[in-house]
Structure 1
Amino acid sequence: MRKIGFKALAAILMIGRRSKKHVDWTLAIAIFSTIVTVGLIALYVWQGRPDLR
């Protein structure tokens, strides 16, 4: 999971270097919403596992 996170962070940083004049808000919102969705799914799965309580 950490390797995927570092790859995503590197991709975001490379996109930022490519377009310094303006921020692509559509891409930024899509990335942010994806991160939030994955986090919520992870919390749901983690909460449902009885051996982690």
Structure 2
Amino acid sequence: MRRFAMKALFTALNLSQAERDRINWDRLILVFSTLVTIGLIVLYAYGKATFRW
């Protein structure tokens, strides 16, 4: 029973580390897509303001 508890503990620790990595990737993708969206809105507003579009 003690060996099973240790395996369960190490498995839970490994899963939490993997989940932390996944969250960091999700956050990175979210920030990048937000920056791209804001950049496109700024370009659109600039184009409308200078009558180029």
**Offset from partner CA, 1:2-53 (integer Å, 9 cap, x none):** xxxxxxxxxxxxxxxxxxxx470111000000000000000000001034xx
Runs of 4+ in 1 over 2 A off after TM superposition: none
Question: How high is the TM-score relative to the length of structure 2?
Answer: 0.50
Bigger fraction of residues in helix: 2
Aligned mate of 1:47, from 37, 42, 45: 37
**Partner SS, residue 49 of structure 1:** helix
Aligned length: 32
Greater gyration radius: 2
Question: How high is the TM-score relative to the length of structure 1?
Answer: 0.50
Give the CA RMSD over aligned residues. Answer: 2.5
- Pairing 1:30–2:16 present: no
- Flag structure 1 segments of 5+ consecutive residues without an equivalent: 1-21
The one-letter code sitting in structure 2 at the alignment partner of 1:32 is: R
* 1:9 alignment partner in structure 2: none
Q: Distance in 1 between matches of 2:31 and 2:39?
A: 13
